[in-house]
Structure 1
Amino acid sequence: MDQVYGYVRVSTKEQNEARQIAAMREVGVAPGDIYMDKQSGADFERVQYRRMLRRLGPGDTLIVKSIDRLGRNYTEILEQWRIITKSKRAAIVILDMPLLDTRQNRDLTGQLIADIVLQLLSYVAQTEREFIRQRQAEGIVAARERGVHFGRDATPISENFPQTLAEWRAKKLGSRAAAERLGVSQTTFLKWAKAENLPKK
């Protein structure tokens, strides 16, 4: 019996997938047949997507709300579309774009229109992703220029560090034991020790 599967994707764990799931249920996709990933659409190395792809067979249908939920990499979207429709011989339905419904318009003209729309939307999905990354990078640069600090604050150096450092240099103490005495990680202790050897400005 032909199966209908739904695929849902959000980029982060904080984003809400409720609208996509509601759209799947409205078209009759059973809750147990909805696969969801919470990660970037940069590639298709996603656990649930791969699991869904393994189950997809000839005559089955994959429902996705919009093309950017499938992915945001132009080349890989086209490749996955080919795998699903040609290799798997399954159908794809993009709910937000009725032209991208491979169950219909199977004549040459319909396929041509669908291919053009697919390539256009895939291109838009990737360029939007690149635009978002560019804005994020510009935002970080602007924030740094305003003095905004990124990352964790540096661990303050312990008062016992000079004595512990001297013992470590004299090989009376290992770096792990020195770090434990100061209550910091071994990496932090070695970073402090390295900084002591740098020329003072």
Structure 2
Amino acid sequence: MSKTILYARVSTADQTLDHQKAQAEAAGFQLDEVIADHGVSGISTTLQERPEGKRLYDKLRHGDTLVVRWVDRLGRNYTDVTDTIRHFMRQGVVVKTVINGLTFDGATKDPMQEAVRDALIAFMAATAQAQAEATKEAQKAGIAAARQDSSKYRGKKPSYDRRTLEIVLCMLGKGAGPSKISKTTGLTRQTILRIRNDAKAAEAALSRWGL
């Protein structure tokens, strides 16, 4: 039986999973499953590099429908977006967007429809890349401005204190998994993973905030 799966990338406060799911349902999609990546940059990571994004390549089958808020959920630049959409179309998966109600279907054999579809993919992908690059430049400009006053550039305040960090590092050293550590400390799994991947950065964040 074919399925309709919503893929959501949640990276900012105004892109919550509930918001993206509600938008899709309001647009008339009857969702069988929701797959989401949280706190993952769409600028620096491809879909296949994201933990849950990888699952889409295993789960989606011929006849399934992939729903995304917009094509920028699928890649970080023009090549990523176009390659991803065309990959799923080759697999017989229909890709649909909530915004603008676009449909990308590889089943059509009509040359004119194919030409229009491919031109639309290219245009949407180019727009997604342009927006991503503009966002990245705006972030750089904001960071540069803040760095002019070093007292302001401290980054986001850590959700842990030094004692909690010590507990996390100790449990990681004993081989405990992120989920167990999360339950013990009250920190999110994403925070645990960031600490595991870069303990020095975690220490530096505490120092910047005087914690």
Q: Which residue of 2 aligns with 1:11?
A: 11
Q: Which of 96, 100, 103 is residue 100 of structure 1 equivalent to?
A: 103
Q: CA RMSD in A?
A: 2.5
- How far 1:104 moved relative to its partner? 8.0
- The letter of the residue matching 1:96 is I
C-alpha separation in 2, matches of 1:103 and 1:95: 19
C-alpha contact 1:91 1:102 (8 A) present in aligned 2: yes
Q: Secondary structure at the match of 2:62?
A: coil
Tell me which residue corresponds to 1:75.
Answer: 79
Distance 1:63 1:130 in 2: 24
Question: What percentage of residue pairs aligned between the two structures are identical?
Answer: 28
Cα distance, 1:130 vs structure 2: 1.2
SS at match of 1:52: helix
Structure with the greater alpha carbon radius of gyration? 1
Corresponding residue for residue 113 of structure 2 = 110
In structure 2, C-alpha distance between the alignment counterparts of 1:9 and 1:76, rounded to whole Å: 15
CA contact (8 A) 1:10 1:16 kept: yes
- Residue 141 of structure 1 deviates from its aligned partner by 2.1
Which position in structure 2 is the counterpart of 1:64?
68
Question: What is the CA deviation profile of residues 167-198 of structure 1, one whole-angstrom value per residue up to 9, with x for unaligned ones?
Answer: xxxxxxxxxxxxxxxxxxxx9xxxxxxxxxxx
Structure 2: gaps spanning 5 or more residues? 156-199, 201-211
Alignment correspondent of 1:89: 92
Distance 1:66 1:123 in 2: 13
Q: Give ranges in structure 1 of 5+ residues lacking alignment.
A: 153-186, 188-201
Q: How many residues align?
A: 150
Q: Once the 2 structures are TM-superposed, how far is the Cα of residue 12 of structure 1 from its aligned partner?
A: 4.1
Residue 35 of structure 1: SS of its match in structure 2?
strand
Kept in 1, the 8 Å contact 2:89–2:104? The answer is: no
- Residue identity in the other structure for 2:117: A
Match of 1:143 among 146, 153, 156: 146
TM-score by length of 1: 0.65
CA separation in 1, counterparts of 2:3 and 2:145?
Answer: 50
TM-score of the aligned structures, taking structure 2 as reference length: 0.62
Q: How does 1:156-195 map to 2 (within 5 A)?
A: none
Deviation at 1:103, TM superposition (A): 7.4
Give the structure with the higher percent helix.
2
Residue 57 of structure 2 is aligned with which of 42, 45, 53? Answer: 53
